Structure 1
Amino acid sequence: MSHFSSLAEVLRHQAMSRPDIAAVTIYSDRPGERPSLTFAELYAQAAHLARQLAAETTPGDRALLIFPSSVEFVVAYFACLMAGVVAVPMMQPRRNANHDASAAIIADCAPRLAMSPASDPDPRGLLRERLAAHGIRHLPIALVTDPAPLDAFRPNADGLAFLQYTSGSTSSPKGVMVSHRNLIDNLAMMRDRLGNHTDSAHVSWIPLYHDLGLIMNLLQPIYLGAPCVLLTPSGFMHRPLNWLRAIHEHRAEVGAAPNFAFDLCVDRFRPEQMEGIDLSSWKIALNGAEPVRAATLKRFAATFAPYGFAPEAMRPAYGLAEATLLVTAAKRGSLPRTLEVSAKALKAARIAPPEDAADRHVSASCGAPMSGLTITIVDPETRRPLPQGEIGEIWIRASSVACGYWQRPEDSAQTFHAKLATDEPSVGGSWLRTGDLGHLDEASELHVVGRIKDVMIIRGVNHYPQDIEATVAASHPSLRRDHGAAFTITDADEIERIVVVQEVERTQRRGIAEAEVVAAVQAAVVNNHDVALHKVVLIRTGSLPKTTSGKVQRNLTRLRWLEGTLEPWNPSGEAEDRAVSA
Structure 2
Amino acid sequence: MNEPTDHDSPQDNILEVVAQTLHQGDTSRAETAAISLDSHLDSDLGFDSLTRAELLVNAERRFGVQLPEALLNNAQTPRDILDAVATARGEQPAEPSIARQDGTGALAQTDADREHFTVPPFETLQEALQWHARKHPQRTYLHWVISDNDVRALSFEDLHNGSLRVANGLFRHDLEERNTVALMLPTSHDYFYGFFGALYANAIPVPLYPPAREAQLEEHLRRQAAILNNAQARVMITVPEAKRLATVIKALVPSLEHVVTPEDLWGNPLMYPVANAGGNEIAFLQYTSGSTGNPKGVQLSHANLFANIGACTEVLEVGQDDVFVSWLPLYHDMGLIGTCLSSLWLGLHLVVMSPLLFLTRPRYWLWAIHHFGGTLSPSPNFGYELCLHRLTDEDMEGLDLSSWRVAFNGAEAVSADTVERFTRRFAPWGFRPETMAPVYGLAENCVALTFPETSRKPVIDRIDRARFQEDGEAIPNDADHETVLRLVSCGKPIPHHAIRIIDGNGRECAERHEGSLQFTGPSATRGYYRNPEKTAELFDGEWLNTGDRGYIANGELFLTGRNKDLIVRAGRNLYPGEIEEAAATLEHVRRGCVAAFATGMGESTGERLVVVAETRSTDQTIRQQLKHDITQITRDRLGIDVDEVVIVKPHSIPKTSSGKLRRNDCRLRYERGELERKALPVWRQLVRLARTGWRQEGVLAWREIRRHLYSGWAWFAFGLTGLLTLVGVNLMPRRTWRWQVVHFCARALGWLTGTRLVVRGGEKLKPLPEGCVVVANHASYVDAIVIAALMPVPVSFVAKAELQRFAILRRLLRLIDAEAVDRSTDQSSVRASRRIAERAHGRRLMYFAEGSFDAAPGIQPFHMGAFMTAAVAHQPVLPIALNGTQKKMPADRWNPRPGPVEVVVGELIWPDGDDWASATQLREQTRNAIVTMTGEPDRLARPESSQPLPARDSDNSSSTDVENRV
How has the CA–CA distance of structure 1 residues 151 and 529 changed in structure 2, closer, same or farther, with 3 Å as cutoff?
closer
Question: What is the aligned partner in structure 1 of residue 240 from structure 2?
Answer: 121
CA positional deviation for 1:78: 1.3
For 1:140, the equivalent position in structure 2 comes to 261
Residue 568 of structure 1 and its aligned partner are, at CA, apart by 8.5
SS of equivalent residue, structure 1 residue 309: coil
Give deviations 1:489-527, integer Å, cap 9, x for gaps: 1275342211000112x3x55595233222221111111
Give the Cα separation in 2 of the matches to 1:408 and 1:517. 43
- Does structure 1 retain, via aligned residues, the 8 Å contact 2:517–2:550? yes
Deviates more, 1:33-42 or 1:390-399: 33-42
Further displaced range: 349-358 or 430-439: 349-358
Q: In the alignment, which of 582, 585, 591 is matched to residue 471 of structure 1? A: 582
Residue 388 of structure 1 is matched in structure 2 by 511
Task: Note if 1:76 corresponds to 2:194.
Answer: yes
Change (3 A) 1:167 1:471: same
Is this contact kept in 1: 2:141–2:344, CA < 8 A? yes
Aligned-residue CA RMSD in angstroms? 2.2
Does the aligned pair in 2 maintain the 1:59–1:157 contact within 8 Å? no
Which secondary structure does the structure 2 equivalent of 1:263 belong to?
Answer: helix
Where 1:353 maps in the other structure, the secondary structure is: coil
1:227 deviates by 1.5
Residues 1:266 and 1:355: Cα distance change in structure 2 (over 3 Å): closer
* 1:75 positional shift: 1.4
Q: Corresponding residue for 1:343? A: 465
State the secondary structure of the residue aligned to 1:450: strand
| Counterpart secondary structure, 1:271 | coil
- Per-residue deviation at 1:123? 6.9
Q: What residue is the counterpart of 2:650 in the other structure?
A: 541
**Could you tell me which of 139, 145, 165 is aligned with 1:48?**
165
Q: Are residues 403 and 319 of structure 1, via their aligned partners in 2, closer, same or farther at CA, if it must alter by over 3 Å? A: same
- Find the counterpart in structure 2 of residue 554 from structure 1: 663
SS at 2:628 equivalent = helix
Q: Is the Cα contact below 8 Å between 2:124 and 2:277 reproduced in 1?
A: no
Give the C-alpha shift of residue 528 in structure 1: 2.0
Partner of residue 435 from structure 1, selected from 544, 547, 556:
547
| TM superposition shift of 1:375 | 0.5
Q: C-alpha distance in 2, partners of 1:264/1:75?
A: 31
* Separation in structure 2 between the aligned mates of residue 149 and residue 266 of structure 1, nearest angstrom: 50
* Letter in structure 2 aligned against 1:376: R
- 1:578 corresponds to which residue? none
Paired residue type of 1:137? H
- 1:388 Cα shift? 0.3
Pair 151,124 (structure 1): closer, same or farther in 2 beyond 3 Å: closer
1:370 maps to 2:479: no
Asked whether the 8 Å contact 1:546–1:552 carries over to 2, the reply is yes
- 1:14 corresponds in structure 2 to 132
**How far apart in 1 are the matches of 2:248 and 2:151?**
31
Compared CA separation, residues 2 and 564, structure 1 to 2 (3 A): farther
Show CA shifts across 1:403-447 (max 9, x none): 1001111211220x313xxxxxxxxxx1110010011112x0101
Q: CA deviation at 1:87?
A: 0.5
- Partner residue of 2:447 out of 314, 325, 335: 325
Name the larger-Rg structure.
Answer: 2
Letter in 2 for 1:16: R
* Match among 569, 576, 598 for residue 488 of structure 1: 598
Report the 3-state secondary structure (helix = DSSP H, G, I; strand = E; otherwise coil) of the residue aligned with 1:395. strand
Distance 2:151 2:466 in 1: 52
- Post-superposition Cα deviations, 1:76-127, rounded to whole Å, max 9, x if no partner, equal 11122222201101112565333452111111111121123xxx43278224
Displacement of 1:198 in angstroms is 2.1
Distance 2:495 2:489 in 1: 17
Post-superposition offset of 1:147: 4.4
Pairing 1:514–2:623 present: yes
Q: Distance in 2 between matches of 1:401 and 1:203?
A: 26
Where 1:267 maps in the other structure, the secondary structure is helix
Q: Distance in 2 between matches of 1:90 and 1:370?
A: 28
Tell me if 1:230 matches 2:230. no
The 3-state SS of whatever aligns with 2:285 is strand
Q: Please give the alpha-carbon distance, in whole angstroms, between the structure 2 residues aligned to 1:223 and 1:51.
A: 24
- Contact conserved, 2:451 with 2:494, CA < 8 A, in 1? yes
Tell me, yes or no, if the aligned pair for 2:167 and 2:270 is still in contact at 8 Å.
no
TM-score, with length taken from structure 2:
0.55
8 Å CA contact 1:59–1:155 kept in 2: the answer is: no
> How far apart are 1:338 and its partner, in Å?
1.2
For 1:189 and 1:97, the matched residues in 2 are separated by: 41
**Matches for 1:182-581 after TM superposition, within 5 Å:** 182-348=304-470, 349-354=472-477, 356-358=479-481, 359-379=483-503, 381-415=504-538, 417-419=539-541, 430-442=542-554, 444-474=555-585, 476-490=586-600, 492-504=603-615, 506=616, 510=619, 513-567=622-676
The whole-number CA distance in structure 2 between the counterparts of 1:365 and 1:157 is 33
Greater shift after overlay, 279-288 or 53-62?
53-62
Give CA deviations for 1:363-414 in whole Å, capped at 9, x if unaligned: 10001100000101111x2111111010011110101001100111121122
Amino acid at match of 1:69: T
Deviates more, 1:194-203 or 1:51-60: 51-60
Q: Which amino acid aligns with 1:268?
A: R
Q: Percent identity?
A: 33
Check conservation: 2:462, 2:478, Cα contact below 8 A: no
Question: Are the structure 2 counterparts of residues 136 and 467 from structure 1 closer, same or farther at C-alpha, using a change threshold of 3 Å?
Answer: same
Residues 202 and 355 of structure 1, relative CA distance in 2, 3 Å threshold: closer
Partner of 2:203: 85
Q: For 1:96, which of 207, 217, 231 is the aligned residue?
A: 217
3-state SS of paired residue (2:167): helix
**3-state SS of the aligned residue for 1:15?**
helix
Asked whether the equivalents of residues 282 and 309 of structure 1 are also in contact (C-alpha less than 8 Å), the reply is yes
Q: Does 1:176 align with 2:295?
A: no
Residues 204 and 283 in structure 2, CA contact (< 8 A), matched pair in contact too: yes
Contact 1:24 1:36 in 2 (8 A): yes
Q: Which amino acid aligns with 2:189?
A: V
Q: What are the Cα deviations for residues 51-75 of structure 1, in whole angstroms up to 9, with x where unaligned?
A: 4445643322101111110111111
Question: Per the alignment, in what secondary structure is the counterpart of residue 514 of structure 1?
Answer: helix
Paired with 1:532 and 1:137, the residues of 2 have a C-alpha distance of 53
**Among residues 133, 154, 170, which one is paired with 1:37 in the alignment?**
154
| Amino acid across the alignment from 1:547 | T
Q: Which has the higher contact order (CA 8 A, sep 6+)?
A: 2
Residue 911 (structure 2) aligns with: none
> What's the offset of the Cα at 1:531?
2.0
* 3-state SS in 2 of match to 1:28: strand
In 2, Cα distance between equivalents of 1:235 and 1:521: 32
Change in 2 beyond 3 A, CA 1:264/1:219:
same
C-alpha distance in structure 1 between counterparts of 2:432 and 2:479, whole Å: 31
Between 1:12-21 and 1:121-130, the stretch displaced more is 121-130
Please report the TM-score for the alignment, with normalisation by the length of structure 1: 0.90
Which one-letter code corresponds to 2:587 in the other structure? P
Q: Which amino acid aligns with 1:205?
A: W
Gaps of 5+ in 2: 1-118, 679-966
Alignment partner, residue 572 of structure 1: none
- 1:199-224 CA-to-partner distances (Å, cap 9, x unmatched) read 22111111111111111121111111
* Residue pair 1:22, 1:227 contacting (<8 A) in 2 also: yes
Query: Offset of 1:186 from its aligned partner?
Result: 0.7
